[in-house]
Amino acid sequence: MEATSTPRAKAKRAGSEEPTAGVEQYLTFQLAGEEYGVDILRVQEIKGWEKATRIPHSPHYVLGVINLRGAVVPIIELRRRFALESVDFGPTTVVIVVKVASDRGERTVGMVVDAVCEVYNVPVSDVKPPPEVGGGIDTDFVRGLATMDEKMLILLDIDKLIVDTIFDGAAVAA
Amino acid sequence: MSFDAEMEEIHKIFFEESHEGLDAMESGLLNLDASADRETINTIFRAAHSIKGGAATFGFVEIAHFTHDVETLLDEMRNGVRAMSSQAQQLLLQSVDCIREMIKAAQAGGAVDVQRVAILNESIKDLLASGDVPLTPAPALPVTEVDTVPPAVETAAMPLMNVEGTAASSPVPGWIIRFTPHEDILRTNNEPTRMFAELAKLGPVIADADISAVPALEDLVPESLYFRWTLKLNAVVDQRRVQDVFDWVDASSKLEYEEVSARPAASTGGVGTAAASPAPAPATAPTAAPKAAPAAKAAGDTSSIRVSIDKVDSLINLVGELVITQSMLSQFGERFDPGQLERLREGLSHLSRNTRDLQESVMQIRMLPIGFAFNRFPRLVHDLSRKLGKQVELRLSGEGTELDKTVLEKISDPLVHLVRNALDHGLETPAVRSAAGKDPTGTIELNAYHEGGSIIVEVKDDGAGLNKARILNRARERGLVPADAELTDDQIHNLIFQPGFSTAETISDVSGRGVGMDVVRRNINDLGGHVQITSNEGRGSTIKIRLPLTLAILDGQLVRVGAETYVISLLAIVETIQVKADQVNRLPGGVELFRLRSEYLPIIDLGQQFGIGRDPSTSCDGLLVVVESDGRRFGLMVDDLLAQQQVVIKSLESSYRQVRGLAGATILGDGRVALILDVPGLVQTFEQRALQAEAASAAA
Amino acid sequence: MSKVILAVDDSASMRKMVHFTLSGAGYNVVQAVDGVEALEYARDHEVDVVLTDVNMPRMDGIELVKELRALPSYRFTPMLVLTTESSQEKKLQGKQAGATGWIVKPFNPEQLLATIARVL
């Protein structure tokens, strides 16, 4: 579907209506003043922060593992992953539990973020590719940018982000 | 049970016994190397024979057809008509594989490599036809004998009709059979009257009995038969079908068949009946194909375990005890009286014992003998030694040693790799061996046994052993060890398990297909086991694999390191000692030693290893958990000992990734996750670090 | 009383097939895994028909027929040998040993029943 009206006119918050074809739903969250979006179909649940069991020989952004109803689930701190300043966890700090596809099957991972914001219906045609040069931050796992309610949303390619981050390669010393 | 269900069940049994038969054929064929004795060939033949018979009966036509020639070949060998050649042996082994594939395909409803079957079948037929056959020519090849249809009979057949006319004036077409039964025919329960009834099914029969041979009463033996018959069958049928009726008695009795034509051959041309000739209806032929439906798709492999009745009985007993304990405990729930506290405690201790026993018994169900993994080796070694031009004797022992099904399945591939390696790189060629004064035939031993709570599997060869100098050079080239590091022999040998290390100078077809010993070690480590090699140059190598009995549960000692809780397998722990700072010595390079009686133990500080801040108060003196790994002892420095308990092992690799020094994770009673230490892995990491530190201090 | 058939075969699937077919037709089927076991049973029990495979470990079918025929109570008992089409020689040996007849493998249930009916 070609855009015949302005993107803004088409942008709307997800209400009770079902998303239509050509529209993707994103859960957005806050991280150091920016709003990021993840494909809502990947989100398994949102839970409060609880202390994780630290795992030695892990990257610094892997906080450890938690027990999620009998399953051992790794937790990453997204601020650290994006080389943003680390802050103390506050009352709005939450863990977004997502499912990702790795070449060894589906994995479940928790991401610590500052706060959860909204669910948006984003028309696919409104998603712009990320600029070639991001100011120091790796844009490999940015699927695209979208503008919603005058704000920029950074849409994440969650598979790439998580799989490259913690499942691949040799253990990185802490 | 319905007919179909019943047939399916029978097919399942057939598949199972066919696999057993094929295994027997295989091991029989491999044993022929030593002595081609009659009984072995007989066993192989019988297995092929049963498979063919079953396949034909149950409608697996291709299997029956293929196995038929294999059977014929074996039959000739069994009867001494044909010698067992190594070519034939190879062909037969390939046939075993082929039949196995076909059976599997029939089982799972999959496809068979038709071309492969055809080619192999062709080779067998060639062999059968070859002049390999010494002595007397084999009695007419059974294949051709089977379905021979007599050349077109009855060119001038007349339509069947009610025969009333006498044979003299216008002969009724059919057969005249002169039957002189053997006197003893009745003893085998072959009643002539029954045969006549059989014959009458083909058409009207007139029987004339000749009783002239009946002796006088005083000479008559009541069990003997003295009659002779002339039978007239008024029906135009194949001679074969007539003969079939007397098939059971034709060896002992005298039988003559005479065909009666309607009229002399010369006159046939005049009558225009050619088109009307009704061929004998073949539909009723006794050789009608079996009706059994060939489909048996439902019989696919459901992963299952055969469990001995003893194990099941023991479970039932334990459940019985559990029920008693439960009913005893439930009384306290109704009315609790503090005076009964002692009884309650007793009940709870019963309960925990019951639970533990029950758990052990359930685990027992998953235990299978390692022989299942060893079984493939005779064949593998046979094929490989042939390919490599080496002579090998394979010795297996401890096949009955049981281990968890999952461990068993996962250890198979690493074992194959190790055996291939031993054959390819370990054992020398017969010429080299002879030159070195060794028996030209090398030995590879596979041995399994229990040691402590583990299973040990050894792969031992009496080959050339590891070349220390070459290994060390290679390791230095690859930067795996510092140039001037002093290593013990054991340390050098075990370098072959390092990632990126491969001693094979040329990549051979047999081993070294990109998969190195590091992968073998990783696979074994993934199972919670570890592997070690000892070697004697010129005398051979022994690879020792230690495996846990089960992967699901571990008896653990919980320890505290700083704020973290770790689990150490009780199997690894020798003892625990309180350490004072002044009992610790420090080597140059930083390694700390603790003197335990006459031994100096290297201390591994878990806090340091894992980057955890340990309690300041115990940073120097704390608790030392003495662990054993590959026969050597180390001390793990921890802050506190917590409970001992059984923990359910959760894979860290499947939810996160493999972490050095950790065997997995578990969930504690309070819901927290605790990590389980991998002691051998920890020791390795520690040693690598020590080596690096040594190198660094030497360089400085 | 139903007739007793002693079915001898080292193959479990064959035994099951024979058992299933014959017991379905009202016969009482006793199974043995080889000649030795069959002979042992036959000595102490009454059997109406013996149905035996040829190739078996320990004691084959031919030997079994020979042994049984030598027993007074089995002089007239129908004994059928299960054989393959390829073993003409076996048929001959079977006859010489005293077999009543044979059933050619492969056979289907109807053929088996027809053959049994032929001797009973």
Q: Quick one: tokens of B646? A: 């059984």
CA distance B509 to B424: 10
Residue A73 lies in a domain: yes
In contact, B301 and B108? CB cutoff 8 Å: yes
Show residues of chain B in contact with C97, CB under 8 Å.
none
Res. B289: pLDDT tops 80: no
Residues B347 and B448 in one domain: no
The one-letter amino acid code at C16 reads K
Per-residue pLDDT at B279: 41
B611 to chain A: closest CA residue: A56
Q: Quick one: tokens of B384? A: 């490989």
A83: distance to nearest CA of chain B, Å?
21
Quote the domain boundaries for residue C88: 4-119
Nearest by CB: B10 against C16, C69, C95? C16
Least confident of A14-18, A100-104, A156-160, B416-420: A14-18
Characterize B495-516 residue by residue with b for buried, 16 or more Cβ atoms within 10 angstroms of its Cβ, and e for exposed.
bbbbeebbbeeeeeeebbeebb
Residue B108 lies in a domain: yes
Count CB neighbours of C33 within 10 A.
Answer: 17
Residues B516 and B450 in one domain: yes
B380: distance to nearest CA of chain A, Å?
31
In contact, B533 and B443? CB cutoff 8 Å: no
Asked whether the beta carbons of residue C77 and residue B189 sit closer than 8 angstroms, the reply is yes
Quote the domain boundaries for residue A112: 26-167
Least confident of B166-175, B603-612, C77-86: B166-175
pLDDT band at residue A66, thresholds of 50, 70 and 90?
very high
Residue A69 lies in a domain: yes
Residues B405 and B526 in one domain: yes
Phi, psi (deg, nearest 5) at residue B611:
65, 40
B637-665, pLDDT tens digit by residue? Answer: 998 899 998 888 888 888 888 888 888 89
CA distance B129 to C52: 32
Res. A127: pLDDT tops 70: yes
Average pLDDT, chain B: 77
Residue B281 lies in a domain: no
Residues 559-598, chain B, touching A (beta carbon < 8 A): 564
With a CB cutoff of 8 Å and minimum separation 6, the contacts of B289 are none
Per-residue pLDDT at A137: 55
A109: distance to nearest CA of chain B, Å?
8
B665 to chain A: closest CA residue: A72
Res. B53: pLDDT tops 70: yes
Show residues of chain B in contact with C56, CB under 8 Å.
46
Per-residue pLDDT at C17: 85
Residue with tokens 């704020």: B563
Asked whether the beta carbons of residue B247 and residue C101 sit closer than 8 angstroms, the reply is yes
B392-407, pLDDT tens digit by residue? Answer: 999 999 988 888 888 8
Domain count, chain C: 1
B-to-C residue pairs, Cβ atoms closer than 8 angstroms: 113
Show residues of chain B in contact with C111, CB under 8 Å.
286
In contact, A167 and A76? CB cutoff 8 Å: no
pLDDT band at residue A169, thresholds of 50, 70 and 90?
very low
CA distance C52 to C48: 13
Per-residue pLDDT at A138: 64
pTM of full prediction above 0.80: no
Per-residue pLDDT at B440: 92
Per-residue pLDDT at A77: 93
Residues B391 and B520 in one domain: yes
Average pLDDT, chain C: 85
In contact, B261 and B207? CB cutoff 8 Å: no
Dihedral sign, Cα of residue B132, residue B136, residue B140, residue B142: negative
Show residues of chain B in contact with A171, CB under 8 Å.
657-660
Per-residue pLDDT at B346: 85
CA dist C47 to B232, C12, C62, C115, Å? 36, 21, 18, 17
DSSP of B234-297, one letter per residue? -S---HHHHHHHHTTTTTTSEEEEEEE-SS-GGGGGGS--GGG-----GGG-TTPPP------G
Res. A7: pLDDT tops 50: no
Residue that terminates a domain, selected from B513, B548, B583: B548
Least confident of B528-532, B648-652, C115-119: B528-532
Domain count, chain A: 1
Nearest by CB: A72 against B610, B612, B652? B652
Global ipTM: 0.82
Residues B534 and B559 in one domain: no
CATH assignment at residue B695: 2.40.50.180
CATH assignment at residue B420: 3.30.565.10
Residue B156 lies in a domain: no
Percent of chain B with pLDDT over 90: 10
Domain count, chain B: 5
pLDDT band at residue B447, thresholds of 50, 70 and 90?
very high
Q: Which site among B57, B61, B253 would you substitute to test the C interface, given the most C Cβ atoms closer than 10 Å to its Cβ?
A: B57
CATH assignment at residue A49: 2.40.50.180
Burial class of residue B565 in the structure, from the number of CB atoms within 10 Å of its CB (0-12 exposed, 13-18 middle, 19+ buried): buried
A41: distance to nearest CA of chain B, Å?
20
Pick the closest to residue B691 from B457, B440, B476, B469 (CA basis). B476
DSSP of B139-160, one letter per residue? SS-HHHHHTPPPS---TT----
- The three-state secondary structure class of B658 is coil
Per-residue pLDDT at A93: 92
Per-residue pLDDT at A20: 63
Quote the domain boundaries for residue B332: 309-365
Asked whether the beta carbons of residue C101 and residue B146 sit closer than 8 angstroms, the reply is no
Least confident of B106-110, B115-119, B164-168, B247-251: B164-168
Show residues of chain A in contact with B650, CB under 8 Å.
71-72
C22: distance to nearest CA of chain B, Å?
13
The one-letter amino acid code at B38 reads R
Residue B163 lies in a domain: no
Q: Quick one: tokens of C114? A: 């027809």
Res. B140: pLDDT tops 60: no
CA dist B298 to B12, B100, B259, B293, Å? 9, 18, 52, 13
Residues B28 and B69 in one domain: yes
pLDDT band at residue A129, thresholds of 50, 70 and 90?
confident
CATH assignment at residue C10: 3.40.50.2300
pLDDT band at residue B442, thresholds of 50, 70 and 90?
very high
Q: B with C: 3 or more CB pairs under 8 Å? A: yes
